Structure 1
Amino acid sequence: MRIAVTGAAGRVGRAVAQELVDRGHQVLGIDRVPAASPAVGMEYLTDDLVNLPAQDPRLANLDAVAHLGAYMSWDSEQADAVFSANVTGTHRLIRALEGSRVSRFILASTGEVYPENAPEYQPLDEQHPRRPRTWYGVSKVLAEDLVEFASTHAGWATVVLRFSHTQDPAEVLNPDSFFSGPRFFASRRIGRERAAGRAAVVAALEPASHDDGTLLVAHREDGAPVQMGILATADLAHGVVLALEAGTTAHEVIGLGPDTSADLAQFSRDLAGAAGLRTVDVTFPSDAAPSYTTSNVRAHELLGFSPEVGHEEFVRLAAEAHARR
């Protein structure tokens, strides 16, 4: 197939594009910034989705689209940017594809539409009510609805993939990582806790506030495990590729995550042990630390999806990347 991948300069977009090329597909990468290292053989279009014209002739000969491009922020001051990229951008992309030969459209969504950190029941599945609590979550609800409308309006086979939390083994032990630093490193988490006014948590983190060699071992006041679904980037990318190649019709919503949620306290201890780092135990208010599980049943049944990077392999790869860095 000839497939467009939006957000092709991002970590998931790059991985999806590379796997598609490796599997013999023709790939058009779309991003508002140039790719640092595009997959060999792929074409590239540098443009912002919000600027795409209706019935864009550059997209006329596509068979399928993986819409991964998005703006991620949980800062209410960034709400306009989030809406523009995730809602207006999705709308403009759908309009740009009108009149094309596209028959399949995949949207990257998120468990924040539920949201995962306030589950009404567990394990979370695709039937869970969507009651987001952030502008980012709201933007993805609206993007999902736009794609469902396009399925009916344009007759496309559409798939909404609700991603679990994604980590890359190469970045998880990098304190400067946007995704990993504030979750695993005490020195990076303390700023968020200061802003939230959690004095007890700040006091516990203070001894390691200038130490990038100490990982956070999180506990909850209510005694529940601190746990969440963590999926390696390579597994997530493979799930997107499977959705592009699947034979589903009409509109489907599929949660894409690991088979087993990660215990973050044990995960941090194992990462620290493998990489030779220290740990600090910190107890958080129960609403400030995740505790949820997700269902992967539909991903198994409809896509044949099974994650390959398990806990031990993830820790090994992360420690190797840390040693190289």
Structure 2
Amino acid sequence: MRIAVTGASGRVGRAVAAELSSRGHDVVGLDLVPPRTPLDGVEYLVGDLSDLPIADPRLAGVEAVAHLGAFMSWSPADAERILSANTDATVHLVRALEGSAVRRFVLASTGEVYPENAPQYQPLDEDHPRLPTTWYGLSKVLAEEVVAFAGRTLDWSTVVLRFSHTQDPAELLDPDSFFSGPRFFASRRLARERAAGHAAVVAALEPFADDDSTLLVASREDGAPVQMGILGTPDLAHGVVLALEAETTGHEVIGLGPDEPLDLGAFARDLAAAAGLGTVDVVLPVSAPSYTTSNARARELLGFAPRLSRDDLIRLAVAARTERLAAAAGGPGASAPS
């Protein structure tokens, strides 16, 4: 098929485009920014989705779409930008595809639509009420409705994929990572806990304010583990590819996540041991997010099964950190302190 992938310069979009190309598909990558390293065989269209014309002739031959482009923020100050990038841009993309050869449309959505950090029941599944508490979650609820509308009115088969948390293994031990820094590194978690007013947690973390070699081993005051579903980027990308190639009809909503949640505290402890890093135990309030999700529908409808194990994530994370430190020290043969 000729498949358009939005957000093709991002970590998930790039992985999806690469796998599609390797499976013989003709890929058109759309993104606001050009890729750092273009993929061979992928045609890139750089620009804002909101600038696409109705019935864009450049997209006339597209048969399927993976709409992955989005702006992520949990700040109310970004409300207008969030809605513009995630909801309005979806409308513009649908209009740009009017009259095209499209017969299948896959939307990247999120567990923020429930939201995951305030579940009414667990494991969370596709039937859970959508009651978002952030502008980001709301923007995805609205985008889901736009896609369902497009499927009904344009006779497309549509799939909404509600992603669990996605983590590139190479980011797990990178303190500068947008996702992993504040999740696993004591030094990078400090600002978040200060802003939340969690005095006991701040006191435990303050000794590590300038220390990027100590990982946070978190539990909750009620004794429960801090757990969530984490899916490696390669597995998430594969799930998107399966959704594009599937033969479902009508409109389907599918949760895409791991088989089992990760206990983040235990995982951080094992990461630290494998990388030779230190740890600090911290007890978080009972409000700390902890939830499980179901991927039963993804298994049933898409034949999806994660391929990266917990041990794989740790192994790849350590390898990436070793390579990063060697490069910073002056080359592959150089050594660097952990």
TM-score (norm 1): 0.99
> Which residue identity is paired with 2:69?
G
Partners in 1 of 2:21 and 2:101 — Cα distance? 20
Q: Does 1:100 align with 2:100?
A: yes
Partners in 2 of 1:267 and 1:76 — Cα distance? 31
> Which residue identity is paired with 1:297?
A
Deviation at 1:38, TM superposition (A): 2.1
What are the equivalent positions in structure 2 for 1:6-155 lying under 5 Å apart?
Answer: 6-155=6-155
Deviation at 1:223, TM superposition (A): 1.3
Partners in 1 of 2:116 and 2:139 — Cα distance? 16
Equivalence for 2:302: 303
Asked if the contact 1:32–1:46 (Cα under 8 Å) also holds between the matched residues in 2, the reply is: yes
Partners in 2 of 1:100 and 1:203 — Cα distance? 58
Q: Does 1:157 align with 2:164?
A: no
Deviation at 1:133, TM superposition (A): 0.8
Partners in 2 of 1:29 and 1:23 — Cα distance? 16
> Which residue identity is paired with 1:265?
G
Partners in 1 of 2:241 and 2:91 — Cα distance? 23
Equivalence for 1:215: 215
Deviation at 1:184, TM superposition (A): 0.7
How large is the RMSD of aligned CA atoms in angstroms? Answer: 0.7
Partners in 1 of 2:58 and 2:108 — Cα distance? 22
Partner SS, residue 158 of structure 2: strand
Partners in 1 of 2:228 and 2:65 — Cα distance? 29
Asked if the contact 1:167–1:230 (Cα under 8 Å) also holds between the matched residues in 2, the reply is: yes
Q: Report which stretch shifted further, 315-324 or 65-74.
A: 315-324
> Which residue identity is paired with 1:33?
V
What are the equivalent positions in structure 2 for 1:243-258 lying under 5 Å apart?
Answer: 243-258=243-258
Partner SS, residue 82 of structure 1: helix
Paired residues, number: 324
Deviation at 1:52, TM superposition (A): 1.1
Long gaps (5+) in structure 1: none
Partner SS, residue 95 of structure 1: helix
Equivalence for 1:318: 317
Partner SS, residue 106 of structure 1: strand
CA deviations on 1:98-157 (whole Å, 9 max, x unpaired) are 011100000000001001111100111000000011110000000001001111011100
Partners in 2 of 1:49 and 1:286 — Cα distance? 41
Identity rate, percent:
70
> Which residue identity is paired with 2:18?
Q
Partner SS, residue 43 of structure 1: strand
Equivalence for 1:291: 290
Partner SS, residue 236 of structure 1: helix
Deviation at 1:290, TM superposition (A): 1.9
Partner SS, residue 30 of structure 2: strand
Deviation at 1:53, TM superposition (A): 1.3
Partners in 1 of 2:74 and 2:36 — Cα distance? 26
> Which residue identity is paired with 2:208?
A
Asked if the contact 1:14–1:38 (Cα under 8 Å) also holds between the matched residues in 2, the reply is: no
CA deviations on 1:148-184 (whole Å, 9 max, x unpaired) are 1111011100000000001111111100011111111
Partners in 1 of 2:197 and 2:217 — Cα distance? 20
Partners in 2 of 1:39 and 1:241 — Cα distance? 17
Equivalence for 2:328: none
Partner SS, residue 170 of structure 1: helix
Equivalence for 2:262: 262
Partners in 2 of 1:72 and 1:286 — Cα distance? 25
Deviation at 1:70, TM superposition (A): 0.1
Runs of at least 4 residues of structure 1 off by over 2 A? none
> Which residue identity is paired with 1:117?
N
Partners in 1 of 2:71 and 2:122 — Cα distance? 28
CA deviations on 1:254-293 (whole Å, 9 max, x unpaired) are 0000000001011000100111111111111111x22111
What are the equivalent positions in structure 2 for 1:177-256 lying under 5 Å apart?
Answer: 177-256=177-256
Partner SS, residue 281 of structure 1: strand
